[in-house]
């Protein structure tokens, strides 16, 4: 069984992954270009000091990944730490170790120390965004309803539009990654 560190070493750099995206490349670029990393000397300094690396479990068809990965890319660029991608569907053994509420939800970010030990998991959404998405999904008709698929597609289209333009969503994501990773890194003192 491969370790998370082995998946990291075999993965591709997050920036290269985003450049090679097929499904949501334009939308991810829009988020990357629109998001301005908050001035956050404490977080960035801690990342630089501890030099963790991040294993990103993702796929480019995922709307949450479309929004979250560009935000993570800003963080790792500012801190000079590595982030590498493992495709969720290429080897489900990895994602099955890191399920969210029993599902293979992505993206998942695994914060690894320099020895390759997993310090923390983040993903797939900030709590505020998760609450909003769940409220939206609750408004859908039952899955067996004849218009379920049509309404679900309309909801996803609406969410993708919001994901590429709502600054609050981007900040919620940044703040939750920051809080989660800082807590894990501060325990390492």
Q: Show Cβ contacts of residue 150 under 8 Å, excluding neighbours closer than 6 positions.
A: none
**Which pLDDT score is estimated for 189?**
60
- What is the rounded CA–CA span in Å between residue 59 and residue 111? 18
**Which pLDDT score is estimated for 188?**
79
Q: How far is CA 176 from CA 58, 71, 115, 124, 128, in A?
A: 18, 11, 24, 11, 9
Would you call 61 helix, strand, or coil by DSSP?
coil
- What is the rounded CA–CA span in Å between residue 105 and residue 51? 27
**Which pLDDT score is estimated for 185?**
96
- Assess contact for 18 and 25: CB atoms under 8 A: yes
**Which pLDDT score is estimated for 41?**
87
Report helix, strand and coil shares of the chain as percent, to nearest 5: 55, 15, 30
Domain boundaries, the chain: 4-186
- What is the rounded CA–CA span in Å between residue 164 and residue 91? 29
Query: pLDDT 10s per residue in the chain (189 long)?
Result: 899 999 999 999 999 999 999 999 999 999 999 999 999 889 999 999 999 999 999 999 999 999 999 999 999 999 999 999 999 999 999 999 999 989 999 999 999 999 999 999 999 999 999 999 999 999 999 999 999 999 999 999 999 999 999 999 999 999 999 999 999 999 976
Please tell me what DSSP assigns to residue 124: S
State the CATH architecture for 4-186.
Answer: 3-Layer(aba) Sandwich (3.40)
Strand order in the sheet with 53-58: 12-13, 82-87, 53-58, 108-112, 118-122
Q: How far is CA 26 from CA 14, 23, 101, in A?
A: 15, 8, 30
In this structure, the chain runs to a length of 189
């Amino acid at each position: 069984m491969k370790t998370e560190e082995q998946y990291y070493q075999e993965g591709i750099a997050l920036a290269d992954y985003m450049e090679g995206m097929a499904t949501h490349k334009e939308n991810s670029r829009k988020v990357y270009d629109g998001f301005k990393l908050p001035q956050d000397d404490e977080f960035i300094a801690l990342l630089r000091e501890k030099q963790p690396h991040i294993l990103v479990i993702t796929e480019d068809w995922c709307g949450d990944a479309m929004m979250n990965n560009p935000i993570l890319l800003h963080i790792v660029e500012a801190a000079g730490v590595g982030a590498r991608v493992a495709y969720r569907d290429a080897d489900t053994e990895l994602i099955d170790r890191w399920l969210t509420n029993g599902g293979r939800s992505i993206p998942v970010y695994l914060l690894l120390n320099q020895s390759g030990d997993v310090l923390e998991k983040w993903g797939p959404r900030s709590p505020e965004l998760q609450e909003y998405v769940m409220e939206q999904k609750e408004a859908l008709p039952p899955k067996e309803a004849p218009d379920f698929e049509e309404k679900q597609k309309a909801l996803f289209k609406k969410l993708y539009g919001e994901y590429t333009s709502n600054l609050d969503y981007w900040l919620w994501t940044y703040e939750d990654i920051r809080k989660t990773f800082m807590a894990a890194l501060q325990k390492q003192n």
